[in-house]
Structure 1
Amino acid sequence: MAVIEHALLPVRAGNEEAFEAAVAEAKPLITASPGFISLEIFRPTATRQAYLLLVKWRSIADHRDGFRQSDRYRQWRALLHRFYDPMPEVSYFGEPL
């Protein structure tokens, strides 16, 4: 059963362009991870809204115990986490109804 990782990414105002450039650099880090299926990051439609991150994984363990414990995640964090205020919370969702 695949799972969806969901997070709202609250990017500091005025940093959107730099954040999007950092995302382009960071994408290969996550896509190379075992258990990774797909990634979508949606732009907000109004100011002061967060970006929406949806990542499909083969399992929660592939994300939490695989990617998050890897050197790729340390690089991902260095590229992207400086843009967030506050830090995003991650949730997981199962199969659609």
Structure 2
Amino acid sequence: MILELVDILIQPGKQAEFDKAISHGITEYIAKAKGFIGYQINKCIESPERYVLMNYWQTLENHTIDFRESPAFLQWRGVVGPFFARPPIVEHFTILETKNSQK
């Protein structure tokens, strides 16, 4: 499994609109992609214009080739791209260890 970490900075004052757009874009375009496993959207407390999107893929190629080279990628960017204050920073990680401790 691969973690795609996307650091997003949006234009000030657009948070409510972006919250809806990112959820819509993921469910309509990313979630239907080959090898997509799941996601988590994180909204920064200290910097409300900053978001971290965590997408999980079966393989790196599922993201970099199957999704990024598909028409769905352009549709996704059409939904969220107008909100960006700068291009997102995208990095990929292998997952070394996972632990969920809820009390």
Q: Same fold (TM over 0.5)?
A: yes
Q: Cα 1:49–1:14, aligned 2, differ >3 Å: closer, same or farther? A: closer
Counterpart of 1:77 in structure 2: which amino acid?
R
2:21 counterpart residue number = 22
Hey, what's the Cα distance between the residues in 1 that align with 2:19 and 2:48?
15
Indicate the structure (1 or 2) with the bigger Cα radius of gyration. 2
Percent of counterpart pairs with the same letter? 24
Between Structure 1 and Structure 2, how many residues are aligned? 96
Displacement of 1:47 after TM fit? 3.1
> Quick check: 2:4–2:91 contact (8 Å CA) kept in 1?
yes
Q: TM-score, length-normalised on structure 1?
A: 0.91
- The answer to whether structure 1 residue 4 and structure 2 residue 7 are counterparts is no
Following TM superposition, by how much is the alpha carbon of 1:66 offset from its aligned partner in structure 2, in angstroms? 0.7
1:1-97 superposed matches below 5 A: 2-28=1-27, 29-97=29-97
Q: In the TM superposition, what whole-angstrom CA distance separates every residue of 1:28-61 from its partner, at most 9, and x where no partner exists?
A: 2111101001111111112355101100101111
In structure 1, the residue corresponding to 2:68 is in which secondary structure?
Answer: helix
Does the CA-based 8 Å contact 2:6-2:91 persist in structure 1?
A: yes
Give the unaligned 5+ runs of structure 2: 98-103
CA RMSD of aligned residues (A): 1.2
- Large movers: runs of 4+ above 4 Å: none
In 1, the alpha carbon distance for the partners of 2:5 and 2:74 equals: 19
TM-score, length of structure 2 as denominator length:
0.86
Q: CA–CA distance in 2 between the matches of 1:26 and 1:92?
A: 20
2:64 aligned counterpart, secondary structure: helix
